[in-house]
Amino acid sequence: MLRFFENLVDPYTPYKDSDHPPQRLWPFLWEYSRPFKRVFAVTAVLSILVAGIEIWLIAYMGRLVNVLGSGAPAQVWQDHRVELIAVAVFILCLRPLVQGADAALLNNTILPNFTTLIRWRSHSHVLRQSVGWFENDFAGRIANRIMQTAPAAGEVVFQVFDAISFSIAYLIGALVLLTDADPRLAVPLLIWFVLYAALVRWTMKRTGPAAKASSDARSQVTGRVVDSYSNIHSVKMFAHDDRELDYAKESIEKARVAFFGEMRIFTIMDIALTAINGWLIVGVVGWAVALWMQGAASVGVVAAATALTLRLNAMTGWIMWALSSLFRNLGVVAEGMETIAQPVDLVDRPQAKPLVLREGEIRFQSLSHHYGKGHGGLDDINLTLRPGEKLGLVGRSGAGKSTLVKLLLRFYDIEKGAVLIDGQDIADVSQESLRRQIGMVSQDSSLLHRSVRENILYGRPEASEEALFDAARRAEAHEFILDLQDPKGRRGYDAQVGERGVKLSGGQRQRVALARVILKDAPILVLDEATSALDSEVEAAIQETLYGVMQGKTVIAIAHRLSTIAQMDRIVVLDGGRVAEDGTHEELLAHGGLYARFWARQSGGFIGTEEAAE
């Protein structure tokens, strides 16, 4: 039966991606709630029914008191046995069905599925953000916001139906009950309600901002802690454990102070609530007793009023905490929206078509890009790679080499100029189709925290086992992969490589990354210091493989180790974001410019210091 409720809503139901999600809180939540609108409507009705049944039970208790006092037990049973049996059947059978359906919708349909839907769609939205967007924030904070926003939003919906709708229906029912018994009994309840509403308003006005500040502080703690863990090698290498503790302590203390502010609100709320609930008990019960003493109310009315008041007294604390939880979670959602509701800043143009790669010509046309700063990056680059041409790219740090590659991959929107592949402006084609045509091995060969097999197959998931092994052999990786074993005993290609591949040496990571690109077999190949982490012997073996992989492809190879690009068809030297030199290895040596000075000063095939070019 519970499986029926669990499957009422599919959290993975197809939906249309939005590049500009709602920026305000309630529209944001409503957008995610669309698949649940019918479930929400039924749940609201059931919550009202549950509250109505509770009020009716209290009212019936008052009637029962009067009935029991109306005569001898035998006579009471003779006159009211059908009624009493019917009420017992209702309480034993129908009431559990109504409350069970309400609980199942809340606990089995809404809470797990709404949380899953938000987490799934938020992750989907964030994955569509550009590389530059991720570079501006902690990965830990982004992940934390996705993880904590989803359950917070689920709690908001849960409290709306479990507490808010129930309590409103309960309060209306209480007013009707007391008014029906004696209109004067409703007066202290109304006065109490005004005071209670004022306390709720005071609490809620402060809870949301306090919760948001506390949630933001927790996210900062997560970001800083994850940053330390992600860079643990640097922390240990420089022996900065104490510095990292101080760095984390600063944000942990900020989170503690923010939590203090949040808890002060609840302490004041508890004290005030106890005081106004005292008024509720004395006002309603005392007045009911006074009316009884005057002969204006029966014992049943006094009993019902007392039971109702004590129930309200117990409920008010729960309702206040539910409201506080509601607004606290709204604060968490608002903080999470700062990440998961940001517009996607790099999108495909309307009607973008797939890239059709015919020959592999690449043309950088009047290309300028300064990351919005007006300086640095690239400045008026004009460069053409003929189909199948191998281009070496040389330059000092900051010359613009990596920027050129990032713009080719469209990790950023170009500020001025264009990049054309076979005459097609990459801004007019879909990003996915563009990147499927480009294989890249970078200096920072990060791997996914998965098995070696999954990492290599990332290049071409549908590849056969034979193709996988062949790519690993060509990358000089097959032998060491067979010797791998992780802490859980998984061996070879099934061994886990650790987060970002940290369980492998730099050379091993680079060879696995190279195998991944070999398997992808894209017609355009980008090598950004692809052999920088390899020792000379392995590099010599892989160089031959690389030259084989390059055949028939258009290649851009960035290197400080000039020996790796000396055999390229052309070499371009970038300096200050501009093309300083362009020619073959021999032509540039004969020219006696920057490249010749780099070559003369390199040690072991590396570009020398800054003085080499001065």
- Residue 467 sits in a domain whose CATH number is 3.40.50.300
Distance, first Cα to last Cα, the chain: 79
Q: Does residue 240 belong to any structural domain of this protein?
A: yes
Please check whether residue 594 lies inside any domain of the structure. yes
Query: Which 8-state DSSP code applies to residue 202?
Result: H
Q: Are residues 416 and 336 in the same domain?
A: no
Angstrom distance (rounded) from CA 74 to CA 103: 40
Query: What pLDDT sits at residue 201?
Result: 82
Q: What confidence score (pLDDT) does residue 500 get?
A: 52
Give the CATH number, domain containing residue 314.
1.20.1560.10
Three-state DSSP at 241 gives helix
User: What are 191-209's pLDDT values in tens digits?
Assistant: 888 888 888 788 878 877 8
Domain final residue pick, 340, 371, 405? 340
Bridge partners of residue 362, in order along the sequence: 385, 421
Asked whether residue 415 is assigned to any structural domain, the reply reads: yes
- Is 162 in the same domain as 253? yes
Q: Are residues 286 and 391 in the same domain?
A: no
Burial of residue 445, with CB atoms counted within 10 A of its CB: 0-12 exposed, 13-18 middle, 19 or more buried = buried
| Cα angle 61, 64, 69; round to 5 | 135
Domain count, the chain: 2
Strand partners, 603: 606
| Co-location of 28 and 141 in the same domain | yes
Which helix (H) or strand (E) segment holds residue 583: the answer is strand 578-583
Looking at the fold, whether 160 and 104 belong to one and the same domain comes out as yes
pTM: 0.75
Which residues of the chain have a pLDDT value below 50?
A: 603-606, 608-614
SS3 579: strand
Establish if 304 belongs to a structural domain.
Answer: yes
Tell whether 252 is covered by a domain: yes
Looking at 307, 340, 373, the residue that finishes a domain is: 340
Residues 308 and 408 occupy one common structural domain: no
CA proximity to 146, closest of 215, 196, 243: 215
Assess whether 225 and 279 both reside in one domain: yes
Q: What whole-number distance in Å separates Cα of residue 394 and Cα of residue 162? A: 65
Determine, yes or no, domain membership for 348: no
Confidence at residue 530, expressed as pLDDT on a 0 to 100 scale: 67
List all residues 6 or more positions away from 519 whose beta carbon is below 8 Å from its beta carbon. Answer: 456, 457, 459, 460, 463, 467, 468, 471
**pLDDT for residue 515:** 92
Q: Are residues 327 and 382 in the same domain?
A: no
- Co-location of 147 and 240 in the same domain: yes
**Residue where a domain stops, chosen among 277, 305, 340:** 340
The predicted pLDDT at position 611 comes to 44
Q: How far apart are CA 198 and CA 210, in angstroms?
A: 19
Could you say which DSSP state residue 416 is in? E
Distance CA(337)–CA(342), nearest Å, equals 7
Domain that residue 389 falls in: 362-613
Q: Quote the pLDDT of residue 562.
A: 81
Q: Which residues pair with 554 in a beta bridge?
A: 524
354 belongs to a structural domain: no
User: Are residue 487 and residue 408 in the same domain, yes or no?
Assistant: yes
Domain assignment of residue 274, yes or no:
yes
Angle subtended at Cα 106 by Cα 103 and Cα 110, rounded to the nearest 5 degrees: 155
Task: Indicate if 471 and 562 belong to the same structural domain.
Answer: yes
Are 433 and 576 contained in the same domain? yes
Looking at residue 604, what is its pLDDT?
Answer: 44
